[in-house]
Structure 1
Amino acid sequence: MAGIPQGAARRMSSPLSRRGLLRTAVATAVAVPAVGLFTGPAGAVRPGGKAAAGLPLTVVNNSGAYDNASVYVYIVGNDGTRQCYVTPEGELKPVQLSDNGPDGYTDYAISLTGTETTLTLPEMSGRIYVSCGDKLKFKAVDGGQGAALAYPAGWVSSDPNYPVVHDCAEFTYKGGAMYCNTTMVDMFSVPLSIALKGSKDQTTGTLKAGARARVFEQVRGVEAFSRLVVDDKRVIAPGHGIGAGLFDENYFAPYIDEVWSAYAGKDLRITTNAGTFTGRVSGDTLAFTGPAQVSFAKPTTKDVLFCDGALAAPNDGTTGPVAAVLGAAFNRTTLVSAAEQPTTDPASFYQGDLTHHYAKAMHEATEDGKAYGFAFDDVAGFASYIEDGAAQRMTLTLTPFG
């Protein structure tokens, strides 16, 4: 999720890159974050596993569906040198293969001590998972350069965590600064909100009353998306639905063809921090001139949904920002209607029958209209992402399921 100004998907770069996680998940059905955000020893695990003074994290159970004894928290990620997890005492410890128990899985679960449980976040980049009703099975595996974790893949029916209701928030905490978001890029299950107290008070991710049920109903009500709903457990993102045989791999093909046809005869202008790029389609290529020459092959539905493949965004300051805006416009289906991108009026997003109904439902569900429904949902500031350079406290709340 770094370098490009549009939001968490770049800001929280190497360890939990949205694009990197999704590529890994597509290839292996597990998400094993890479190392790389923190390069110096300040982020490393200290002798004995002790972490530097961290950020207070309060986990609040307002789910109304699960009692405190049935909710488990996991804080996992990396410190820039190795994959780690956080103990209930706030210690940052490296993942080791010996952490796997007799059942073959680790037990990094942190139990809630009441409706509000206060923990400590050390400097690291990672995810805060919550599971409801049962524990998650994280497996320590050989990552080639040390032990790594096979993360839950709730969109894979053979995954051991598939039966468990679970979800996560993502974060990077470094030098007193916190960057965090709720995410629906992979799936949606547990309604979560994040609050940050620091230089100002911020909240994001809060669902409207009854919105969880409405998301399930709304996605189930669109025939092309209906099979993405897994009972009352979760809604799988359509990109993962392709891999699971639950979503049409050619769903966006008519819209992609329409975009290609439209810009064979007129200019598409995309403005980024680097300047304005002007593009035209020729054959299977959309080529831009401007601050740099960048081009994109005609994407597939999978490319659009994962913001990858033909729409991959390198952290180069030119191709990356253009790809991000292009990916957002495809997912929001605003490319045909607006030749000047990015579009910033949410009333113009997700119009028509052929659109990203999953992301549409997520945005309609939240109080602030922000959600991470796809990897570049941060373009123009529509992701459920907040940051604070002088963070004092973070609160993660399981909001009502009803």
Structure 2
Amino acid sequence: MATLTVSPSQAQQFSFLPSPLTSNPPTTTTATATAANTASDAPPITTQTTPQTLTISLQNNTPSTAVYAYITGQTLSGTLYVLSSTGTTPFFPPNPITQTLTPIPSSSISIALGPPGLSRAVTIPRLAGARIWFSVGSQLQFFLNPISGAPQDGQGRGVALVEPSVMNESDTNYDKEWGFAEFTFNEYQLFGNVSMVDFVGRCPVSLGVIRDLPTDAKERQQEVEGMGYGSGLDRVVESLRQVGGNWEKLVIRRKQDGLVTRVLSPNSAVVMGAQRGERLFQGYYDGYVRDVWEKYRREDLVVDTQNKWGVVRGRVDSGTNLLTFPIPGSGTGGKITFGQPSAADIFSCSTGPFAFPPLPPNPTETDFDVQAFRGNVGARLAAAFNRSTLLINPNQPAGEQIGTFYKSNSVTNHYSRVVHENSPGGRGYAFPYDDVSRTEEENVAGTVAAGNPKVFVVAVGGGKVNFAALGTAVVESEVQTAADGAEKVEKRVVTGGENSGKPAGKVVKSENRGMRTGRGRVKRIRGLLRRAVGWVKG
């Protein structure tokens, strides 16, 4: 497991960059324990300030009357946050938690969305590394673990959240129908994504944002439409069946009736397979990687960092057989190097040559800068390997053409290919650096972002976000949970929902492409290493 650490001044370059960005190893084999004691968000690159709280409209776009939502994350001071079932206040765990896998009563944190077509509004504070979980037909079970040696305060500090896992068959949630979307809401922006980095489930999600702009403003609303309920998963399954081989093994069926519950990403499948002694995709990319190495032994690989380091050129060193890039402005011949990645490294984007080497004792500002530079270049390499464009395009990502992704070579990330082919508008989020692109306009990642959000909309079940009915639904739901403040809530939501906001955005989105040291969180492989280095993340 790698850890990326940056200094406060280094963090000024990015809109979201924890310092340090760390992750604690799992403390249970039943599911993954994600500790909530990491550091808070970084300083801004813009003067934009978001509201102190955010309204989230949870829409039921499924045919089911039993749909539940859960919101988890970290406060900006680094403590665990779980929204209670009231939709307005946090859940406070018992104090102290002494046993591992202490269950959280589902009734304390599950938020029922009501019948199909209705919405439920909730309110959250600023959060980092947050998820909106949802389940259909039954409630999810979350657990708490004590963090060894960490004092507890009964308000989230000193405890770790054990989340549902798609990679552990003994998890009580394993056969249930569930999924999640990811977001960060800090002082400077809201960033959300539909996240299919771990799996594609039967119940997709769509995202929308209403921003603080005049009602006739062109950019008042953003939307990422999810796959169709059930039908999207079926199409992904059929596409992978046509590819065959290990790709068919990504399909997970419920043992009792054979129902397809989800399709794992290759990264998740590799991790899950290793637990059973299987070595899925071993050697899959080897021939392609060798060809890439031979190509760039003879010519330069040009990488546009789309950041302060500008354009850099790398070659495979014949002596070391490492892909080597000089560090801009080092003045001392400094360089970063990458060895040949395995298929598992390419799918995870965070192991092997894409892992961050440890910092030296008492690191300097230069050490932090080199880490960030390495992450930036590594993100672009990992994206190009997943899309299999390195043999046809020596200018990354400046020379990329979306039409060539996954098509120039039969050895490619077919999971990512079929996710995008079956997502409306081709917008999905299928591997950790799926947001690396030549320009913002060509970004195929399923993301929304706003520097001044009014309402964040999460439509469980995919399909179109119902912006037209949003104001009424939000008001009615909030009145139910806060009747004594109904008039105030109604005024805030209706005027906010109908006058959505101008994002802090242009600077954030244009300057930080591919430098995702936040929502490219360095914690993948099931909550361990959220990937670093992409647009702006959460």
TM-score by shorter chain over 0.5: yes
Q: 1:25 to 1:267 in 2, by over 3 A?
A: farther
Distance in 1 (CA, whole Å) between partners of 2:173 and 2:348 is 22
Which one of 258, 267, 280 corresponds to residue 300 of structure 2? 267
Q: Is the 8 A contact 1:178 1:389 kept in 2?
A: yes
Q: Residue 71 of structure 1 aligns with which residue?
A: 67
Q: 1:299 to 1:74 in 2, by over 3 A?
A: same
Per-residue deviation at 1:225?
Answer: 0.6
Structure 1 residues 98-128: Cα deviation after superposition (integer angstroms, max 9, x where no partner) = 6899994212222223421111122112100
Kindly report the root-mean-square deviation, in angstroms, between the aligned alpha carbons of the 2 structures: 3.1
Q: Residue 197 of structure 2 aligns with which residue?
A: 185
Q: Is the 8 A contact 1:269 1:279 kept in 2?
A: yes
Q: Which moved more, 1:212-221 or 1:122-131?
A: 212-221
Q: Is the 8 A contact 2:283 2:342 kept in 1?
A: yes
SS in 1 for 2:453: coil
Q: Is the 8 A contact 2:97 2:146 kept in 1?
A: no
1:326-341 mapped onto 2 (5 Å cutoff): 326-341=381-396
Read off the aligned partner of 1:229 and give its amino acid letter.
Answer: V
Q: Residue 225 of structure 1 aligns with which residue?
A: 247
Corresponding residue pairs, total: 378
Which one of 356, 380, 390 corresponds to residue 325 of structure 1? 380
Q: Residue 233 of structure 2 aligns with which residue?
A: 212
Q: Is the 8 A contact 2:206 2:462 kept in 1?
A: no
Distance in 2 (CA, whole Å) between partners of 1:160 and 1:264 is 50
Q: Which has the higher strand share?
A: 1
Per-residue deviation at 1:177?
Answer: 2.8
Q: Residue 312 of structure 1 aligns with which residue?
A: 355
Read off the aligned partner of 1:62 and give its amino acid letter.
Answer: N
Distance in 2 (CA, whole Å) between partners of 1:135 and 1:389 is 33
Per-residue deviation at 1:93?
Answer: 3.8
Unmatched 5+ stretches in structure 2: 7-13, 44-50, 151-157, 213-219, 254-259, 358-367, 438-442, 464-538
TM-score using structure 2 length: 0.64
Read off the aligned partner of 1:75 and give its amino acid letter.
Answer: I
Matched, 1:162 2:174: yes
Per-residue deviation at 1:233?
Answer: 0.7
Structure 1 residues 192-239: Cα deviation after superposition (integer angstroms, max 9, x where no partner) = 010000042001142268433211211233222101111221111111
Structure 1 residues 40-76: Cα deviation after superposition (integer angstroms, max 9, x where no partner) = 9xxxxxxxxxxx9621111111123xx23x2111101
Unmatched 5+ stretches in structure 1: 4-9, 41-51
Which one of 432, 436, 454 corresponds to residue 392 of structure 1? 454
Identity of aligned residues (%): 27
Read off the aligned partner of 2:460 and give its amino acid letter.
Answer: L
Q: 1:339 to 1:96 in 2, by over 3 A?
A: farther
Distance in 1 (CA, whole Å) between partners of 2:262 and 2:126 is 31
1:1-400 mapped onto 2 (5 Å cutoff): 12-14=16-18, 30=32, 32-34=34-36, 35-38=38-41, 54-64=53-63, 67-68=64-65, 70-79=66-75, 80-89=77-86, 90-96=88-94, 104-106=102-104, 107=106, 108-114=109-115, 115-125=118-128, 126-144=130-148, 145=150, 146-175=158-187, 177-189=189-201, 190-199=203-212, 200-207=220-227, 210-223=231-244, 224-231=246-253, 232-245=260-273, 247-272=280-305, 273=307, 274-282=309-317, 283-289=320-326, 291=328, 293-309=335-351, 310-312=353-355, 316=369, 317-342=372-397, 343-351=399-407, 352-380=409-437, 381-399=443-461
Q: Is the 8 A contact 2:281 2:344 kept in 1?
A: no
Distance in 2 (CA, whole Å) between partners of 1:308 and 1:53 is 33
TM-score using structure 1 length: 0.85
Q: 1:297 to 1:400 in 2, by over 3 A?
A: closer
SS in 2 for 1:180: strand
